[in-house]
A and B are shown apart, each in its own frame.
Chain A
Amino acid sequence: MSRARFALLSITLLALGTALLAPSSSQSQTPQASQTPRSGGVLNMMLREDLSQGFSIHETSTISTVWPAMPCLSNLVLFDPLKKTESVDTIIGELAEKWSWQDNYRNLVFFLRRGVKWHDGQPFTSKDVKFTFDMLREAPDAPAKLRINPRKDWYANVEAIETPDTYTAVFRLKKPQPSLLLMLASGYTPVYAAHVPPADYRTHCVGTGPFKLKEWRKGEYVEFVKNPDYFVKGRPYLDGLKYFAILERGTRQAAIQAGKLDVSFPGETTKTAAEQLKKAVPQLVITPFSQNVTDNIIMNMKKPPFDNQKVRLAVSHAIDRRALIQAVHQGGAVVGAGLAPKPWGFWGLAEKDLVGLPGYGTKPADEKALARKLMAEAGFSREKPLKVEIVTRSIAIYVDMASFVINELKQVGIEATLKQIETAQWHAMATRGDYQIGANLTGVGPDDPDANYYENYGCGSPRNYSQYCSEEVMKMFDAQSQELDPKKRLALNAAIQKKLEADAARPILDWKLDYFTVWPHVKNLIPHQSIYNFGRMQEVWSDK
């Protein structure tokens, strides 16, 4: 064998050996925990729309705000960013170093961190905690008021907030409520600075979070830089974050596929889109997870025709949940009632309990026949159809769902036209009740009955868009909230979910899944079981 042939053979064997021994692309994504985090780098992220309420998380009910505002702010407590399943056991301290339940869940005491500074250099104290939560619960002597306060009812059970010293805050409750801690751990519950007017958060962000706002160019991007004074030493790892507003869904997908962006927007990647992305760029890391968001129908019960329970029930019966999941989500959602079903949630009804509820039956033709019967009883027929205007937000995932619903309603004698509403007007319109019927998405901060019920079904709650109000059901809410026996609480919640669907309070169509997509160099960005709670970014690092 000549020297040249020997060299060629050696190189070929070496290349083959390397190829056989080298891990495949999927295997090369070794567990993130085994790697040592590295500091530096900037992540390019996406926004599906501009920030309609700026950074004022307390005045908003959309992930469009929570996701880009979370890095600037801090809570008292937070669900551990590194644990995908959220529970009371995964809560970690943020501005609170420690906390303690006292008097059988009647008092919640927070011991605050010392030496924490707001981004403008002012010290953080218990005064900020009292300011924030008195404002949220709309206490009579609250020093400030929010323009809209969507989650006011989360704090309805708080009787007083006391601050015995600069670094202690005590939440005194009217009755025991273990769930309060979970609500405080949601991304929806940051602490505002007492020395900053709440309205300022609509344009600026003075927080204590791991990143400081550098620039918000409306309609274009939001840019954050590392907060060198962040209270957790060695965090954040990244030097900055940049969120680009890309309104068009296909363009967003193309941007992540091309590597222009590093991370998808929570709740925006459908199953089909994820499959396409994976096919185009096999190294992308795609994680299916529960969003804790439902597709649902809101119907204004204060106005005809939806003040008539028969019409509401007809709507619920008309919509084939399973077909919707296949058509709109390509299988990327699950059937469920008021609370997220297993394995994505803890409290949801089992399939055997669901099939007996209006619209959940496995025979859609029978459900539609029942809907037509109810419509006839309410005085409508094929010759005299009910004509309504269905509202939805001007976002593709909303419009897709609304288009499906319109076709379903048409089959039972309800002729609907679609009106799209911009996010800036949507929540105010729904709260005022300036609509007949809406195709809506509702996200719940934590997977917890209290958070969902009091916010979305409680009498007088600003987020109770259907304006459903039942004294009987409110008593059931309170009973489960105070129940400390998990089994009994689970049973109470099953009864509540059945009652809500039987009343067609806000028919739930499905619980959505997301296919969260990141490039492999993005580490420690772990999607939770709710899209609202993992946007802080202090643990995220870049392996680029």
Chain B
Amino acid sequence: MAVSRAEIAVAAGARPRPGMWTAIARFARKKPLGAAGGVLMLVMLVTAIFAEVLQTHDPIATAAAATLAGPSADHWLGTDHLGRDIYSRIVHGARVSLVVGVASTLLGSVLGGIIGLLSGYVGGRTDMVTQRILDILQGLPLLVLALVMSAALGPAVHNVIIAISIPIIPRAARVIRSSVLSIREMQYVEAARSLGVRHLRIAFRHILPNTIGSFIVLCTAQLGSAILVEATLSYLGLGVPEPYPSWGRMLSVSAAEYAQKAPHLVLFPGIAISLAVFGSNLLGDALRDTLDPRLRGS
């Protein structure tokens, strides 16, 4: 008869690992603000995935008869200066913000993680040179570096992702390197080394999985910044090009000019950006507190 892992664990006297729902419920109880952030991010994710279902109008469809219309039964959040439905544009804008935010965060964090892993594991002169280069990159604020990259690459979704991911690289490299520095001194790593395991295998098989907690915290922390930078780049005309809806672009294209006559142009995209960044930051903070052993219980 087959024996389950849980039964083995009970037989060994260990407490069974809680199920996913139990873990989530415990997280929500311990970190209600973090859970609220998680709910906001979940809403954003669902909105992004089901944008076509949730929209009430085609987000790029213009309506000459309904320009700058206020909120109504037909246009829940009103229309912009070209008569485009703001609610539908915000719904589709969630997709752009999430895709750009997640993709750039993952790209930057993975590349930075690999650099940090190798730099921390190899150490010596390689580590020193790598860290100085990262110092230079990190000396530039995220937004400034993203602006330069975006201006150089031109406005397009993939370029925006690249532009935002590059400033994330040094931050990710630093976080992962610091974890690697402590992990590489552990006995099981020494044991692996003495058994003749190759360095790359030690780095990627034995050290990397133990940095996953830091990696998750890093990703959630950077996600909010990435969403905000995307909105800023779009606001400055360097982000996702028209006519595809992006929250930052919605603020810039018409809002500044028509804000007095139609304040809803500024209000609703602004609320969407704020909620997304707020949710991401709340979740990130709570995950950091939960996953970082030094902060656990604080």
Contact = CB atoms under 8 A, between A and B. Distances in A.
B63 A250 contact: no
A430 interface: no
Contact of A403 (B60, B65, B259, B261): B60
A407 B62 contact: yes
B202 to A, nearest CB: 46
The binding surface of chain B is classed by DSSP as loop
Contact of B62 (A248, A327, A417): A327
Interface stretch (A19-27, A224-232, A310-318, A393-401): A393-401
A280 B68 contact: no
Contact of A404 (B82, B252, B255): B82
19 contacts: A249-B257, A250-B256, A253-B257, A273-B257, A276-B257, A280-B260, A325-B64, A326-B67, A327-B62, A327-B82, A399-B253, A402-B242, A402-B243, A404-B62, A406-B60, A407-B62, A410-B60, A420-B155, A420-B242
A275 B260 CA distance: 11
B238 to A, nearest CB: 10
Nearest to A248: B256
| 8 nearest A-B residue pairs (beta carbon) | A250-B256, A326-B64, A323-B64, A403-B243, A327-B64, A250-B257, A327-B62, A403-B242
Interface of A: 248-251, 253-254, 270, 272-273, 275-276, 279-280, 320, 322-328, 330, 394, 396, 399-400, 402-404, 406-408, 410, 417-420
Interface in B251-267: 252-253, 255-261
Contacts of B155: 420
Contacts of B258: 272-273, 276
The binding surface of chain A is classed by DSSP as helix
Given A273-B258, A276-B258, 18 more contacts: A250-B256, A253-B256, A270-B257, A275-B261, A323-B62, A326-B67, A327-B63, A327-B83, A328-B82, A399-B242, A399-B253, A403-B60, A404-B82, A407-B58, A407-B60, A407-B61, A407-B62, A418-B242
A404 B64 CA distance: 10
Contacts of A406: 60, 243
Contacts of B261: 272, 275-276
Interface in B236-278: 237, 241-243, 252-253, 255-261
A330 B82 CA distance: 9
B8 to A, nearest CB: 56
Contacts of A400: 81-82, 253
Interface residues of B, number: 26
Given A327-B83, A418-B241, A403 B257 contact: no
Interface string B76-120: 000001110000000000000000000000000000000000000
Nearest to A403: B243
Nearest to A247: B237
Contact of A396 (B67, B241, B253): B253
Interface string B191-216: 00000000000000000000000000
Contacts of B241: 417-420
B111 to A, nearest CB: 27
A250 B259 contact: yes
Contacts, number: 80
A327 B256 CA distance: 18
B105 to A, nearest CB: 25
B59 to A, nearest CB: 10
Contacts of A404: 62, 82
Nearest to A419: B241
Contacts of B68: 272
Nearest to A270: B257
A467 to B, nearest CB: 25
A249 B258 CA distance: 10
Contacts of A420: 155, 237, 241-242
Nearest to A326: B64
A251 B256 CA distance: 7
A394 B236 CA distance: 11
B81 A403 contact: no
A276 B68 CA distance: 13
Nearest to A422: B154
Contacts of B259: 250
A408 B243 CA distance: 12
Contacts of A394: 237
B256 A330 contact: no
A326 B60 contact: no
A273 B256 CA distance: 10
Nearest to A411: B61
A417 B82 CA distance: 18
Contacts of B82: 327-328, 400, 403-404
Contacts of B65: 326
Contacts of A408: 62
B78 to A, nearest CB: 15
Q: Which of B83, B241, B243, B256 has the most CB of A within 10 A?
A: B243
B243 to A, nearest CB: 4
Contacts of A270: 257
Contacts of A320: 64
Q: Which of A275, A324, A403 has the most CB of B within 10 A?
A: A403
Nearest to A395: B237
Contacts of A272: 68, 81, 257-258, 261
Contacts of A279: 260
Contacts of A328: 82
Interface string B146-182: 0000000001000000000000000000000000000
A138 B64 CA distance: 46
A434 to B, nearest CB: 14
A399 B155 CA distance: 13
A403 B256 contact: no
Contacts of A248: 252, 256
Nearest to A328: B82
